[in-house]
Every structure is written in C-alpha cells, then in structure tokens.
A and B are shown apart, each in its own frame.
Chain A
C-alpha cells in the first residue's frame, strides 16, 4: 500500500497564514482542533557528530528523542532537561547505547532552542468527514536574550483514500505563493535560527593552498587556521564542557609547534624562537589536565579488567584523580586567561597577518611547493631509516622516537596535502595510519603504566585497604604491560607493510609532481 503523504510549506515574510485558511474555507469545511505549544531544544556535539549522521537529538517536556532528518524516530527515552548530556547520563536505556556509538566522550550541548506553537485544523467535506489535516506552525528561537521568529509554516497531511483533497490543498498553497519545504529544508530551518552553522567545526584538518603560494603566505594560512581552532576550543576548555575541547586545543598547539619546527630553517630565527618557547609553554601547561582526562576515560575499561573485590580500591584511585583534576583545571584556566597567553595570541596573529611582517619577506617569498616536496622526502627517508633499525630487542624508546618522527611526517603531509594528488595522498596516509596507530597505542600504554606505577610507588602500606589497592594497581599494570607486549609484537609486521617498495614508489611519485596542479582545481 502506498504510504500516506505529507508536505510542508513556508509562508513568505509578511504573509498572513489566515489567508490560506480563508481560501481553503471556500472548498472545505474548516475546523480548528487543538492548539499546542511546546519547547524543543536541539543538541549536538561541538563538532556536529549527530548532524554528520543525519540525526537530531531533541529534548521537549520530559522526553528525549533521537530522530532522523526525515522525521522518523530512532529511539525515545524519559529524561529531564539538562544543560548538556553525555551518553552515560542516560545509562540503561536504548538511547544511551545508540549515542555512545556516535558521540563517544563528547557532550551534547544545546544548539538551538525553539518554542513552537501549532494550530491544528481539519478540512472536511460536506458529510463533515475529515479529508485532510493541516497544521499552522510558528517557531521562535531563543538565543540568550534575543528572540528570533522563523517564517511560519504549514504542514499538510493526507488522509488515506482522499488523494484529490490533498492535491487540492497543495494546489491552493502553491497558488498563494507558499514556498515548498523538503524534509531536509525543515531541518535546516531549525539550524538557521542558531548562532552556528552546521558542520562549521570538525572534520579532517585541511587547508587549501594554491600551487604557487609562497612559503610565508602558506605558513600564515595554515597557522591562522590553527589559531582559530585554538580560540574556538578555548571557551569549551575553560567551561570544561567535555574532554575533547582540550584535546583539540592541544592538537592545534602541537601542529603549530610542529610547523615552526619543520620550517625552522626558512623562518625568521629570533621571532620563531620566541614563538616556539611560548607554544612550548602552552603545550606544557595544558598537559596535566589532559593526562588526567586520558586516564579517567579509561576508567570503565580498567574496572572491567578487575575482579569485584579489587574494584573498590580502583574507584578510590579515580576519585583521587578527579579531585586532583579540579585543582589542575583551575591552574589551567588561570594560564589560559593570563596576559602571557593573550600576548602570545595577539603577537602571533600580528606576525601572521600584518603586511609588514617578516613572514612575508626574504626567503619566504619563494614557492612553498618546492620546499614541501623536499621536506616530505627528507622526513620520509629519515623515518624509514629509523624504522629499519628497530628489531626485536630494541628498547621501547626507539619506538617512541619513531612515533614522534612519524607524527612530524604526517603533520607535514597534512599541512601541504592540497599540493598533491588526492588519491595518492589518501593511499599513503592510509598506510601510515596503521603504523601510527600501532605506535600510538604502544605509547598510550606506556603513559598509563607510568601513571599507575607512580601511584603504586607513592603508596605506604597502611592497612588492608591500601594493600588491596596496591594489588589492584599491580594487577592492572601487568595487564597493560601484557597488552603492550602484544602491540610490540605487531609492530614488525605493520612496519614491514609500510616500508615496502610499493609505498616508497608511491610517495616518490606523489612528490615528483604526478599531481602538480593547483589545489583548487582538484575536488
């Protein structure tokens, strides 16, 4: 059987919805049914994880709903309104399971709050049988103290078997100049009332560089992009919305430092040295909170590895971590609102934007593409040289060094991605990713073991509880060490895959100019 149809229209500004009702009253008996008012708040993560999956998270009255863009419901749950939601706030409901897979550790925050008033009508034939349903809707978005009205809408619903009546109503709507709204456009409407634009943040790092761009202009474009990222995440870090604001902030800082380091030889020395010092400071003051976050994010996994008897002790450890975090965060906020930080950003922006800046003089007027080619090849060869040296009994530090070299190479590739052929670049990055994931996991496990060992060393055997706690820590450290051993064993095969001739030829070809055309020409 065919599904029952529905259609939405928007009124143009200044149009009175009553005009439509009056027109329809000439063809049908029109009766107003119910009026309904409701407030709906739409949520998403800062990087639009739900929007990317074409989903909406809506809180209204006492219910929470995950809905697709086409209006169909995925799952619903009871829940009161909150300023933000994590998946674990909705534990033991189907909704939380669905959210966990999409938003992970990110918080859902309000994107737009809408107050909607709907007037329902039924259109009847001369037997007073309802042959179509109509709803006039008006929505207002609340943004702080500002209230913004959206153009009014009309929603028309077919009643099965009364196709011609439905068609008549649509015809009247078109005749009056109402603008048809698709489902997607209905969703876009909601977001148009927000201060933000969907997907204005998130997604992979990419800066479009023209093939002929100079070194100075390229550095400026990349670094302005990165400092924008820092500033966008700054608020979320200070308000402590979720752990990823700080993570993204640090990534932007790390990339900036990496670029300064990679291009050190062509950048003005004194200025560069100053910025390197300041960004190093910024990296170091953001470290403690991030390290704690990484550990806290592992909490469920750690507890899952331990028997019940040892979990209590572990919980105490995490409570202590959380308490320390409060203090660490306070310090971090102080740093991020300090004069030193404000000076850094102001001077940095000036260095990147001022037409008289040293950045746009001397050697930095040369073509960036040539430099990028040379640097990429050099870093790649260096990386492979180091990697080839590693064997079964190499110390762990060798892998850590390799990881850092790999990161530098990857950042380089990401900075200058737009110079190269998209397919070749993506293939190469895919090979690199597997190896880097292996090295990254290895490093993470080292860091975690270090934190736990530090704690273990600091314990004094006071009582049975402390002994139990020490057992838990010891047990956990062994499990992590074991995991790390297995990852180390996988390194050999993963590295071999990466360092084979095919991959070497790929990067040589890529850099040699197989894709040497303007970045903006490629899609």
Chain B
C-alpha cells in the first residue's frame, strides 16, 4: 500500500483539486484507493458529496476506530474518509508524547489498511504542525502543488527544511506547477528556470475554469460526461508519480 500526501503550507494552490482528481484517476486505473480528507474545512468531502457520519470525530480517528466511517464515493474503487470539524485541532491532539513517537501516529493508524487499499491519498491542511510532520513521515511520496511564483518557491524551501528536520529524504517530495497561466511572465520564467530540477515533475496543471467549477458540479473532472482537458493533465501527473515513486 502506498501513501501519497498532497501537501503545501500555502493555501489556495490546488491541493484539494489535486488530491480529488488524482484519487479518481488512480481508481480508474484499477487500484483500490482511499482518499483521506485531513483538512477540517472538508473540501474534498464536499466535492465527493460525502458528509461524515454523526458519530465520527477526531478522537475516534486517533483511537483507530474509523473504519466504519469510511464511505464509498460514486466511483468504483474509490472510498473516502471524510473530514470532521474536530480535525481543526488534530495536531494538538497528536502532540502528547515523545516527539519521535508523535510523528508516527498517522502511519500507525493507516498501517492496518494495507490489505484493503492499494493507495491512500491524504488531502492535507495548509499548515506546518506536528500533523504535517506525521503526514510527511507516513507518506511514501509528498506531492506538492506549486503555483509558479516566488512566494510558492519559498514555501517549498521551507518544506524541504521540514523534511530534513523529521529525517525524511528529499526525494520523497515531488513538486509540480499548479494553476499555471503561461501568459503570465512570472509563471513562464519560473517554469523555464526550474523545469529541469529533479524535484519538479514534468507534468503541470494549467489554471482552468473547469477545475474551479468543481465546486459547482461536485465531481472530479474526469467523471464529466464531456471530454475534459483538465483530466488529461491529472492523468499525466498521476502517470509521472507512478513512474517516479510507485514503481508500477
């Protein structure tokens, strides 16, 4: 079972759109996928039209008592563990023991799922907390959407420092350019400058109205009855992640 975290310390870079669409794409290839919505805002859950069951909350999650709260999406092979408002303090709830042990909490919780799913995708909240450390530690691959601006690159640098701090290898990170608008000079020059850096994938996701409108249609772009350019971008992205990190 591979764990892929879609993470960035910055908000509004396309994390949820990425995790929602990558999860859909992965399931379409025949994998059994679980998308975990770790962000208390619950955007991924919203896109998939899934609400948490009444009895679900943060402490149940941390006790490992969450299997019955996993819900099937409308798409074969794809389940979702919905977010809950109580997740807003997940980091505090985790932070009550030895530092090294605290980082392992998530990995320990997810381990028993290895016979049920081929791939777990974590949609992460945009912050830098012990929860982020957990996510980075647990993940086999950290996918980082980067809008091609100076500030986004700074955030990436910060992430790499965090990786070092939690003793994870740099090559865990696979960044990609997100919400790209090639007509913008800054976007195209940054992409040109960094596109040969190994940390950046060759695939990128353009800014598309189609992706923005996911909030209206509430479904992944690939499931649209019409031909979707956006879904092709996510398919490329997924392919590259598979080739570079998942060895399939």
Contact = CB atoms under 8 A, between A and B. Distances in A.
B72 A4 contact: yes
A128 B218 CA distance: 10
A389 to B, nearest CB: 65
A320 B116 CA distance: 57
Interface residues of B, number: 16
B172 interface: no
B71 interface: yes
B190 interface: no
Interface stretch (B18-26, B45-53, B99-107): B45-53
Contact of B69 (A122, A130, A159, A161): A161
Contact of B71 (A2, A128, A162): A162
B72 A162 contact: yes
A126 to B, nearest CB: 10
Contacts of B67: 1
Listed residue (A122, A129, A159, A161) with the most chain B CB atoms within 10 angstroms of its CB: A161
Contact of A129 (B50, B53, B68, B79): B50
A127 interface: yes
A127 B51 contact: yes
A129 B69 contact: no
A128 B70 contact: no
A381 interface: no
Interface in A118-148: 122, 127-130
Contact of A160 (B51, B72, B113, B218): B72
B157 interface: no
Contacts of B113: 1
Interface in A150-203: 159-162
Contacts of B212: none
A70 to B, nearest CB: 19
Contacts of B51: 127
B65 interface: no
A129 B71 CA distance: 11
Q: Is the interface of A mostly helix, strand, loop or mixed?
A: loop
Given A1-B70, A122-B74, A161 B53 contact: yes
Contacts of B70: 1, 160-161
Interface in B72-124: 72, 74, 79, 113, 116
A493 B48 CA distance: 73
A404 B132 CA distance: 83
Q: Is the interface of B mostly helix, strand, loop or mixed?
A: loop
B79 A160 contact: yes
A122 B75 CA distance: 12
Interface in A1-34: 1-2, 4
A161 B66 CA distance: 11
Contacts of A159: 71-72
Interface in B210-243: 218
A122 B49 CA distance: 14
Nearest to B48: A129
B219 to A, nearest CB: 10
B208 to A, nearest CB: 23
Nearest to B67: A1
A122 B76 CA distance: 13
A36 to B, nearest CB: 15
A1 B71 contact: no
A215 B6 CA distance: 85
A160 B79 CA distance: 8
Nearest to B79: A160
Interface in B18-69: 48-51, 53, 67-69
A130 B79 CA distance: 12
B51 to A, nearest CB: 7
A160 B48 CA distance: 14
B69 A127 contact: no
A161 B52 CA distance: 9
B74 A129 contact: yes
A182 B68 CA distance: 26
A122 B74 CA distance: 9
Contacts of B71: 159-162
A130 B113 CA distance: 24
B243 to A, nearest CB: 27
A161 B35 CA distance: 14
Nearest to A130: B74
A159 B79 CA distance: 9
B116 A1 contact: yes
B75 to A, nearest CB: 9
Contact of A128 (B49, B53, B69, B79): B49
Contacts of B79: 160-161
Contacts of B68: 2, 161
B24 to A, nearest CB: 14
A129 B49 contact: yes
7 contacts: A1-B70, A2-B68, A129-B49, A130-B74, A159-B71, A159-B72, A161-B70
Given A127-B49, A128-B218, 17 more contacts: A1-B67, A1-B113, A2-B68, A4-B72, A122-B74, A127-B51, A128-B49, A129-B49, A159-B72, A160-B70, A160-B79, A161-B68, A161-B70, A161-B71, A161-B72, A161-B79, A162-B71
Q: Which 10 A-B pairs have the closest CB atoms?
A: A161-B71, A129-B49, A160-B72, A159-B72, A130-B74, A127-B49, A1-B67, A1-B116, A160-B79, A160-B71
Interface of B: 48-51, 53, 67-72, 74, 79, 113, 116, 218
